Chains A and B, each alone.
Chain A
Amino acid sequence: MANLVYFSNVSENTRRFVEKLAIPSERIPIHGVLNRVKPRMPFLLITPTYGSGEPRSAVPRQVMRFLNEQFNRSALRGVIAAGNASFGASYGLAGDVIGAKCDVPVLYRFELAGLPTDVARVEQGFARFQLIAEES
Protein backbone atom coordinates (compact mmCIF):
# COMPACT_ATOMS: atom_id res chain seq x y z
CA MET A 1 0.00 0.00 0.00
CA ALA A 2 1.33 3.37 -0.94
CA ASN A 3 0.67 6.51 0.98
CA LEU A 4 0.96 10.26 0.86
CA VAL A 5 2.36 12.47 3.60
CA TYR A 6 2.33 16.26 3.47
CA PHE A 7 3.16 19.33 5.46
CA SER A 8 1.32 22.63 5.24
CA ASN A 9 2.05 25.77 7.18
CA VAL A 10 -0.25 28.59 8.29
CA SER A 11 -0.93 29.79 4.75
CA GLU A 12 -2.65 26.37 4.31
CA ASN A 13 -1.83 26.38 0.60
CA THR A 14 -0.39 22.86 0.53
CA ARG A 15 -3.38 21.55 2.51
CA ARG A 16 -5.75 23.09 -0.01
CA PHE A 17 -3.83 21.36 -2.78
CA VAL A 18 -3.77 17.96 -1.06
CA GLU A 19 -7.48 18.13 -0.22
CA LYS A 20 -8.25 18.39 -3.94
CA LEU A 21 -6.41 15.13 -4.60
CA ALA A 22 -8.52 11.98 -4.49
CA ILE A 23 -5.76 10.34 -2.44
CA PRO A 24 -5.78 9.47 1.26
CA SER A 25 -3.08 11.45 3.01
CA GLU A 26 -1.60 12.28 6.37
CA ARG A 27 -0.45 15.72 7.56
CA ILE A 28 2.73 16.37 9.51
CA PRO A 29 1.43 18.63 12.31
CA ILE A 30 2.57 22.27 12.64
CA HIS A 31 2.70 21.87 16.42
CA GLY A 32 2.52 18.85 18.65
CA VAL A 33 3.42 15.21 18.51
CA LEU A 34 5.20 14.07 15.41
CA ASN A 35 5.38 10.34 15.97
CA ARG A 36 1.63 10.00 15.41
CA VAL A 37 2.40 10.31 11.70
CA LYS A 38 3.04 6.76 10.54
CA PRO A 39 3.47 6.61 6.79
CA ARG A 40 2.66 3.36 5.10
CA MET A 41 5.51 2.01 3.11
CA PRO A 42 6.52 3.24 0.57
CA PHE A 43 5.23 6.81 0.41
CA LEU A 44 5.56 10.20 -1.31
CA LEU A 45 6.00 13.53 0.44
CA ILE A 46 4.56 16.94 -0.49
CA THR A 47 6.21 19.91 1.17
CA PRO A 48 6.23 23.69 0.79
CA THR A 49 9.50 25.63 0.56
CA TYR A 50 10.59 28.13 3.19
CA GLY A 51 13.11 30.73 3.92
CA SER A 52 15.28 33.30 2.29
CA GLY A 53 16.57 31.20 -0.57
CA GLU A 54 19.28 29.42 1.35
CA PRO A 55 19.19 25.62 1.07
CA ARG A 56 19.76 25.42 4.83
CA SER A 57 16.40 26.98 5.64
CA ALA A 58 14.35 25.74 2.66
CA VAL A 59 12.86 22.63 4.29
CA PRO A 60 10.27 23.33 7.02
CA ARG A 61 11.68 22.18 10.36
CA GLN A 62 8.67 19.92 10.99
CA VAL A 63 9.49 18.06 7.76
CA MET A 64 13.15 17.89 8.76
CA ARG A 65 12.22 16.32 12.10
CA PHE A 66 9.93 13.87 10.33
CA LEU A 67 12.74 12.83 7.96
CA ASN A 68 15.18 12.52 10.84
CA GLU A 69 13.35 9.29 11.68
CA GLN A 70 15.31 6.56 9.93
CA PHE A 71 12.16 4.56 9.09
CA ASN A 72 10.46 7.54 7.46
CA ARG A 73 13.52 8.37 5.43
CA SER A 74 13.96 4.84 4.18
CA ALA A 75 10.32 4.51 3.11
CA LEU A 76 10.34 7.79 1.17
CA ARG A 77 10.29 7.24 -2.61
CA GLY A 78 9.90 10.74 -4.00
CA VAL A 79 9.15 14.35 -3.15
CA ILE A 80 6.76 16.93 -4.62
CA ALA A 81 7.67 20.55 -3.90
CA ALA A 82 5.33 23.50 -3.54
CA GLY A 83 6.67 27.01 -3.83
CA ASN A 84 6.39 30.35 -5.56
CA ALA A 85 8.28 31.16 -8.77
CA SER A 86 8.46 34.77 -7.59
CA PHE A 87 11.20 33.59 -5.24
CA GLY A 88 13.33 33.01 -8.29
CA ALA A 89 16.10 30.48 -7.97
CA SER A 90 14.73 29.12 -4.71
CA TYR A 91 11.35 28.12 -6.22
CA GLY A 92 10.55 24.68 -4.77
CA LEU A 93 14.04 24.43 -3.29
CA ALA A 94 12.84 22.18 -0.42
CA GLY A 95 12.28 19.44 -3.00
CA ASP A 96 15.86 19.65 -4.27
CA VAL A 97 17.29 19.62 -0.76
CA ILE A 98 15.25 16.58 0.33
CA GLY A 99 15.88 14.85 -3.00
CA ALA A 100 19.63 15.19 -2.60
CA LYS A 101 19.65 14.27 1.10
CA CYS A 102 17.40 11.22 0.80
CA ASP A 103 18.46 10.23 -2.71
CA VAL A 104 14.92 10.34 -4.13
CA PRO A 105 13.62 12.10 -7.25
CA VAL A 106 11.83 15.47 -7.20
CA LEU A 107 8.69 14.31 -9.00
CA TYR A 108 6.81 17.57 -9.47
CA ARG A 109 6.73 21.24 -8.59
CA PHE A 110 3.69 23.49 -8.28
CA GLU A 111 2.96 27.01 -7.08
CA LEU A 112 1.05 27.84 -3.88
CA ALA A 113 -2.18 25.78 -3.82
CA GLY A 114 -1.77 24.56 -7.41
CA LEU A 115 -4.10 24.69 -10.42
CA PRO A 116 -6.57 21.97 -11.51
CA THR A 117 -3.94 20.83 -14.02
CA ASP A 118 -1.42 20.34 -11.20
CA VAL A 119 -4.00 18.31 -9.25
CA ALA A 120 -4.65 16.09 -12.29
CA ARG A 121 -0.95 15.55 -12.98
CA VAL A 122 -0.15 14.60 -9.42
CA GLU A 123 -3.13 12.22 -9.32
CA GLN A 124 -1.94 10.53 -12.52
CA GLY A 125 1.61 10.32 -11.27
CA PHE A 126 0.48 8.97 -7.94
CA ALA A 127 -1.62 6.26 -9.61
CA ARG A 128 1.45 5.09 -11.55
CA PHE A 129 3.55 5.18 -8.40
CA GLN A 130 0.98 3.03 -6.62
CA LEU A 131 0.95 0.46 -9.42
CA ILE A 132 4.72 0.16 -9.35
CA ALA A 133 4.74 -0.02 -5.55
CA GLU A 134 2.20 -2.85 -5.55
CA GLU A 135 4.15 -4.84 -8.13
CA SER A 136 7.40 -4.61 -6.24
Chain B
Amino acid sequence: MKNRRPNSGLSRAVNWNNIQDPVDLEVWNRLVSNFWVPERVPLTNDLPSWDLLAPQEQETMLRVFTGLTLLDTIQATVGAIALIPDALTPHEEAVYTNIAFMESVHAKSYSSVFSTLCSSVDIERAFLWSETNEHLQEKARIVLRHYNGSSPGKRKIASTLLESYLFYSGFFLPMRWASERKLPNTADLVRLIIRDEAVHGYYIGYKFQKLFQTLDRSERSELHGFCLELLGDLHRNEMLYSAQLYDECGLTGEVEPFLKYNANKALMNLGFDPIFDSDETAVDPAVLAALSPRMEENHDFFSGVGSSYQIATSIPTNDADWDF
Protein backbone atom coordinates (compact mmCIF):
# COMPACT_ATOMS: atom_id res chain seq x y z
CA MET B 1 0.00 0.00 0.00
CA LYS B 2 2.98 2.26 -0.40
CA ASN B 3 2.95 5.34 -2.61
CA ARG B 4 4.47 3.48 -5.52
CA ARG B 5 3.06 0.28 -6.90
CA PRO B 6 5.92 -2.12 -7.57
CA ASN B 7 6.88 -2.25 -11.24
CA SER B 8 3.95 -0.09 -12.32
CA GLY B 9 5.97 3.12 -12.49
CA LEU B 10 2.93 4.96 -11.13
CA SER B 11 3.01 7.20 -8.07
CA ARG B 12 0.17 7.16 -5.56
CA ALA B 13 -1.20 10.04 -3.53
CA VAL B 14 -1.76 9.46 0.18
CA ASN B 15 -5.48 9.11 0.88
CA TRP B 16 -6.35 9.91 4.51
CA ASN B 17 -9.92 8.85 3.85
CA ASN B 18 -8.78 5.28 3.37
CA ILE B 19 -6.96 4.26 6.52
CA GLN B 20 -5.51 0.76 6.77
CA ASP B 21 -4.10 1.13 10.30
CA PRO B 22 -6.07 3.43 12.64
CA VAL B 23 -2.95 3.85 14.82
CA ASP B 24 -1.38 5.93 12.02
CA LEU B 25 -4.18 8.49 12.28
CA GLU B 26 -4.28 8.38 16.10
CA VAL B 27 -0.56 9.03 16.37
CA TRP B 28 -0.64 11.71 13.67
CA ASN B 29 -3.38 13.54 15.60
CA ARG B 30 -1.52 13.12 18.84
CA LEU B 31 1.69 14.54 17.34
CA VAL B 32 -0.18 17.47 15.83
CA SER B 33 -1.90 18.32 19.13
CA ASN B 34 1.47 18.13 20.92
CA PHE B 35 3.15 20.50 18.45
CA TRP B 36 5.15 23.32 19.99
CA VAL B 37 8.08 25.61 19.24
CA PRO B 38 10.79 26.78 21.66
CA GLU B 39 9.81 30.42 21.17
CA ARG B 40 6.72 29.73 23.29
CA VAL B 41 8.77 28.75 26.36
CA PRO B 42 9.95 31.76 28.42
CA LEU B 43 13.59 30.72 28.63
CA THR B 44 14.83 34.19 29.58
CA ASN B 45 13.19 33.66 32.98
CA ASP B 46 15.97 31.14 33.65
CA LEU B 47 18.72 33.78 33.46
CA PRO B 48 18.82 34.49 37.23
CA SER B 49 18.98 30.74 37.94
CA TRP B 50 21.67 30.24 35.27
CA ASP B 51 23.84 32.93 36.86
CA LEU B 52 23.74 31.04 40.16
CA LEU B 53 25.20 27.87 38.64
CA ALA B 54 28.91 27.16 39.11
CA PRO B 55 30.99 27.48 35.90
CA GLN B 56 31.52 23.71 36.01
CA GLU B 57 27.76 23.13 36.12
CA GLN B 58 27.22 25.52 33.24
CA GLU B 59 29.77 23.68 31.15
CA THR B 60 28.17 20.33 31.99
CA MET B 61 24.78 21.59 30.84
CA LEU B 62 26.22 22.88 27.58
CA ARG B 63 27.86 19.54 26.89
CA VAL B 64 24.75 17.57 27.80
CA PHE B 65 22.63 19.69 25.46
CA THR B 66 25.04 19.51 22.54
CA GLY B 67 24.96 15.72 22.98
CA LEU B 68 21.17 15.77 22.87
CA THR B 69 21.29 18.07 19.85
CA LEU B 70 23.44 15.51 18.04
CA LEU B 71 20.95 12.70 18.69
CA ASP B 72 18.02 14.86 17.54
CA THR B 73 19.96 15.82 14.41
CA ILE B 74 20.62 12.16 13.59
CA GLN B 75 17.01 11.18 14.22
CA ALA B 76 15.71 14.08 12.10
CA THR B 77 17.98 13.70 9.11
CA VAL B 78 18.67 9.95 9.09
CA GLY B 79 16.73 7.92 11.67
CA ALA B 80 13.11 8.82 11.01
CA ILE B 81 13.68 9.17 7.26
CA ALA B 82 15.32 5.74 7.08
CA LEU B 83 12.08 4.17 8.34
CA ILE B 84 10.06 5.52 5.40
CA PRO B 85 11.07 2.87 2.81
CA ASP B 86 10.04 0.12 5.29
CA ALA B 87 6.60 1.64 5.95
CA LEU B 88 3.57 -0.59 5.44
CA THR B 89 1.07 2.20 4.76
CA PRO B 90 1.32 5.64 3.13
CA HIS B 91 0.07 7.16 6.39
CA GLU B 92 2.93 5.56 8.28
CA GLU B 93 5.29 7.33 5.86
CA ALA B 94 3.58 10.63 6.67
CA VAL B 95 3.94 10.03 10.42
CA TYR B 96 7.70 9.54 9.97
CA THR B 97 7.96 12.87 8.18
CA ASN B 98 6.18 14.47 11.15
CA ILE B 99 8.60 12.76 13.56
CA ALA B 100 11.58 13.91 11.47
CA PHE B 101 10.42 17.53 11.51
CA MET B 102 9.75 17.48 15.24
CA GLU B 103 13.24 16.14 15.90
CA SER B 104 14.55 19.17 14.02
CA VAL B 105 12.43 21.39 16.30
CA HIS B 106 13.99 19.64 19.30
CA ALA B 107 17.51 20.13 17.93
CA LYS B 108 16.79 23.80 17.33
CA SER B 109 15.27 24.26 20.78
CA TYR B 110 18.60 23.47 22.46
CA SER B 111 20.10 26.27 20.40
CA SER B 112 17.38 28.55 21.80
CA VAL B 113 18.47 27.60 25.31
CA PHE B 114 22.10 28.30 24.38
CA SER B 115 21.47 31.66 22.76
CA THR B 116 19.36 32.74 25.76
CA LEU B 117 21.78 31.67 28.48
CA CYS B 118 25.30 31.31 27.10
CA SER B 119 28.04 33.21 25.32
CA SER B 120 28.90 32.34 21.73
CA VAL B 121 32.43 31.34 22.76
CA ASP B 122 31.01 28.79 25.24
CA ILE B 123 28.54 27.52 22.64
CA GLU B 124 31.30 27.01 20.06
CA ARG B 125 33.44 25.21 22.59
CA ALA B 126 30.61 22.84 23.57
CA PHE B 127 29.83 21.96 19.95
CA LEU B 128 33.51 21.23 19.40
CA TRP B 129 33.40 19.00 22.47
CA SER B 130 30.47 17.01 21.03
CA GLU B 131 32.34 16.49 17.78
CA THR B 132 35.42 15.16 19.51
CA ASN B 133 33.91 13.19 22.41
CA GLU B 134 34.63 9.53 21.70
CA HIS B 135 31.64 8.09 23.58
CA LEU B 136 29.13 10.46 22.04
CA GLN B 137 30.55 9.73 18.60
CA GLU B 138 30.50 6.01 19.38
CA LYS B 139 26.78 6.06 20.19
CA ALA B 140 26.11 7.92 16.95
CA ARG B 141 28.20 5.38 15.04
CA ILE B 142 26.38 2.40 16.58
CA VAL B 143 22.86 3.60 15.71
CA LEU B 144 23.84 4.90 12.28
CA ARG B 145 25.24 1.50 11.36
CA HIS B 146 21.80 -0.03 11.86
CA TYR B 147 19.92 2.90 10.35
CA ASN B 148 21.90 2.35 7.16
CA GLY B 149 21.77 -1.45 7.39
CA SER B 150 19.61 -3.91 5.47
CA SER B 151 17.28 -5.14 8.23
CA PRO B 152 14.00 -3.22 8.78
CA GLY B 153 13.57 -4.94 12.17
CA LYS B 154 17.02 -3.93 13.40
CA ARG B 155 16.46 -0.41 12.08
CA LYS B 156 13.29 -0.10 14.16
CA ILE B 157 14.98 -1.55 17.24
CA ALA B 158 17.86 0.94 16.97
CA SER B 159 15.40 3.80 16.40
CA THR B 160 13.24 2.86 19.40
CA LEU B 161 16.31 2.54 21.63
CA LEU B 162 17.40 6.02 20.55
CA GLU B 163 13.95 7.53 21.20
CA SER B 164 13.21 5.77 24.49
CA TYR B 165 16.65 5.15 25.99
CA LEU B 166 19.63 6.97 24.48
CA PHE B 167 18.34 10.47 25.19
CA TYR B 168 18.01 9.87 28.91
CA SER B 169 21.64 10.21 29.97
CA GLY B 170 21.10 13.80 28.81
CA PHE B 171 17.51 14.33 29.98
CA PHE B 172 18.69 13.32 33.45
CA LEU B 173 20.43 16.64 34.16
CA PRO B 174 17.56 19.09 33.56
CA MET B 175 15.21 16.77 35.51
CA ARG B 176 17.69 16.50 38.40
CA TRP B 177 18.05 20.27 38.44
CA ALA B 178 14.31 20.89 38.11
CA SER B 179 13.91 19.01 41.38
CA GLU B 180 16.21 21.66 42.93
CA ARG B 181 14.36 24.52 41.21
CA LYS B 182 17.30 25.15 38.88
CA LEU B 183 16.46 26.26 35.31
CA PRO B 184 12.71 25.50 35.65
CA ASN B 185 11.77 26.86 32.22
CA THR B 186 14.50 24.91 30.47
CA ALA B 187 13.15 21.86 32.31
CA ASP B 188 9.69 22.63 30.94
CA LEU B 189 11.09 22.71 27.41
CA VAL B 190 12.82 19.37 27.99
CA ARG B 191 9.55 17.89 29.31
CA LEU B 192 7.90 18.81 26.02
CA ILE B 193 10.71 16.98 24.21
CA ILE B 194 10.36 13.96 26.52
CA ARG B 195 6.62 13.84 25.81
CA ASP B 196 7.26 13.85 22.05
CA GLU B 197 9.96 11.18 22.27
CA ALA B 198 7.56 8.99 24.26
CA VAL B 199 5.04 9.10 21.39
CA HIS B 200 7.81 8.43 18.85
CA GLY B 201 9.09 5.44 20.85
CA TYR B 202 5.56 4.09 21.28
CA TYR B 203 4.82 4.36 17.55
CA ILE B 204 8.09 2.97 16.17
CA GLY B 205 7.91 0.21 18.80
CA TYR B 206 4.34 -0.59 17.77
CA LYS B 207 5.34 -0.79 14.11
CA PHE B 208 8.17 -3.09 15.15
CA GLN B 209 5.65 -5.34 16.91
CA LYS B 210 3.55 -5.50 13.73
CA LEU B 211 6.62 -6.63 11.80
CA PHE B 212 7.62 -9.06 14.56
CA GLN B 213 4.24 -10.83 14.38
CA THR B 214 4.93 -11.79 10.77
CA LEU B 215 8.23 -13.52 11.58
CA ASP B 216 8.84 -17.16 12.39
CA ARG B 217 10.21 -18.36 15.70
CA SER B 218 13.90 -18.35 14.76
CA GLU B 219 13.72 -14.87 13.19
CA ARG B 220 11.98 -13.60 16.33
CA SER B 221 14.56 -15.04 18.65
CA GLU B 222 17.36 -13.63 16.49
CA LEU B 223 15.89 -10.12 16.65
CA HIS B 224 15.25 -10.36 20.40
CA GLY B 225 18.86 -11.45 20.91
CA PHE B 226 20.06 -8.63 18.68
CA CYS B 227 18.03 -6.11 20.68
CA LEU B 228 19.45 -7.20 24.04
CA GLU B 229 22.97 -7.24 22.65
CA LEU B 230 22.61 -3.78 21.11
CA LEU B 231 21.16 -2.45 24.37
CA GLY B 232 24.12 -3.98 26.25
CA ASP B 233 26.63 -2.33 23.90
CA LEU B 234 24.86 1.02 24.11
CA HIS B 235 24.54 0.77 27.89
CA ARG B 236 28.26 0.14 28.40
CA ASN B 237 28.98 3.17 26.22
CA GLU B 238 26.35 5.27 28.03
CA MET B 239 27.97 4.54 31.38
CA LEU B 240 31.34 5.76 30.08
CA TYR B 241 29.68 8.80 28.52
CA SER B 242 27.78 9.57 31.73
CA ALA B 243 30.94 9.28 33.81
CA GLN B 244 32.65 11.86 31.58
CA LEU B 245 29.71 14.22 31.86
CA TYR B 246 28.75 13.83 35.49
CA ASP B 247 31.76 12.67 37.53
CA GLU B 248 32.74 16.22 38.40
CA CYS B 249 29.21 17.07 39.63
CA GLY B 250 29.07 13.78 41.54
CA LEU B 251 25.91 12.68 39.74
CA THR B 252 27.17 9.63 37.82
CA GLY B 253 25.83 7.14 40.39
CA GLU B 254 22.33 8.54 40.05
CA VAL B 255 22.30 8.26 36.27
CA GLU B 256 22.61 4.47 36.11
CA PRO B 257 19.21 3.57 37.62
CA PHE B 258 17.62 6.27 35.46
CA LEU B 259 19.15 4.69 32.34
CA LYS B 260 17.98 1.21 33.35
CA TYR B 261 14.52 2.53 34.12
CA ASN B 262 14.30 3.94 30.61
CA ALA B 263 15.93 0.86 29.02
CA ASN B 264 13.00 -1.14 30.42
CA LYS B 265 10.54 1.25 28.83
CA ALA B 266 12.30 1.04 25.46
CA LEU B 267 12.08 -2.77 25.62
CA MET B 268 8.40 -2.63 26.53
CA ASN B 269 7.73 -0.28 23.61
CA LEU B 270 9.21 -3.01 21.39
CA GLY B 271 6.94 -5.60 23.01
CA PHE B 272 9.77 -7.28 24.96
CA ASP B 273 9.91 -7.95 28.68
CA PRO B 274 11.80 -5.46 30.85
CA ILE B 275 15.17 -6.83 32.04
CA PHE B 276 15.79 -4.74 35.16
CA ASP B 277 13.59 -5.03 38.26
CA SER B 278 12.76 -2.19 40.59
CA ASP B 279 15.85 -2.62 42.77
CA GLU B 280 18.02 -1.64 39.79
CA THR B 281 15.74 1.09 38.52
CA ALA B 282 15.25 2.94 41.80
CA VAL B 283 15.40 6.47 40.44
CA ASP B 284 15.44 9.28 43.00
CA PRO B 285 11.74 10.10 43.57
CA ALA B 286 12.59 13.80 43.20
CA VAL B 287 13.77 13.14 39.64
CA LEU B 288 10.65 11.11 38.85
CA ALA B 289 8.48 13.88 40.26
CA ALA B 290 10.30 16.38 38.05
CA LEU B 291 9.65 14.12 35.07
CA SER B 292 5.98 13.82 35.85
CA PRO B 293 4.69 16.90 37.64
CA ARG B 294 1.00 16.75 38.46
CA MET B 295 -1.27 19.44 37.07
CA GLU B 296 -1.80 21.07 40.45
CA GLU B 297 1.93 21.67 40.87
CA ASN B 298 1.84 23.97 37.90
CA HIS B 299 4.54 26.34 36.77
CA ASP B 300 3.84 30.06 36.71
CA PHE B 301 0.89 30.05 34.34
CA PHE B 302 1.23 33.68 33.30
CA SER B 303 4.85 33.37 32.26
CA GLY B 304 4.16 31.22 29.23
CA VAL B 305 3.78 27.75 27.84
CA GLY B 306 4.88 24.94 30.11
CA SER B 307 4.64 21.21 29.56
CA SER B 308 1.31 21.13 31.39
CA TYR B 309 0.00 24.18 29.58
CA GLN B 310 -3.32 23.67 27.88
CA ILE B 311 -5.10 25.87 25.41
CA ALA B 312 -8.41 26.91 26.93
CA THR B 313 -11.63 25.78 25.32
CA SER B 314 -14.55 28.19 25.23
CA ILE B 315 -18.30 27.67 25.30
CA PRO B 316 -20.90 30.26 24.26
CA THR B 317 -22.72 32.03 27.11
CA ASN B 318 -26.47 31.91 27.41
CA ASP B 319 -29.03 34.05 29.26
CA ALA B 320 -28.91 31.84 32.35
CA ASP B 321 -25.23 32.75 32.84
CA TRP B 322 -26.26 36.34 33.44
CA ASP B 323 -29.17 35.66 35.78
CA PHE B 324 -27.58 36.64 39.12
Contact = CB atoms under 8 A, between A and B. Distances in A.
Interface stretch (B49-57, B138-146, B202-210, B237-245): B202-210
Contacts of B30: 51-52
B268 A13 contact: yes
A52 B209 contact: no
B277 A89 contact: no
Contact of A112 (B33, B209, B268, B278): B268
Interface residues on A, range: 20 to 34
B257 interface: no
Contacts of A118: 278
Given A88-B291, A88-B293, A91-B292, A115 B264 contact: yes
B209 A11 contact: yes
Contacts of B292: 85-89, 91
A85 B164 CA distance: 12
Interface stretch (B10-18, B37-45, B190-198): B190-198
Contacts of A11: 202, 205-206, 209, 269, 271
Given A86-B265, A89-B292, 12 more contacts: A11-B202, A11-B205, A11-B209, A51-B30, A84-B202, A86-B194, A86-B197, A87-B292, A88-B194, A89-B293, A116-B277, A117-B277
18 contacts: A11-B269, A51-B30, A52-B30, A52-B34, A53-B308, A84-B198, A85-B292, A86-B194, A86-B195, A86-B197, A86-B198, A88-B194, A88-B307, A89-B295, A89-B307, A112-B268, A115-B276, A117-B278
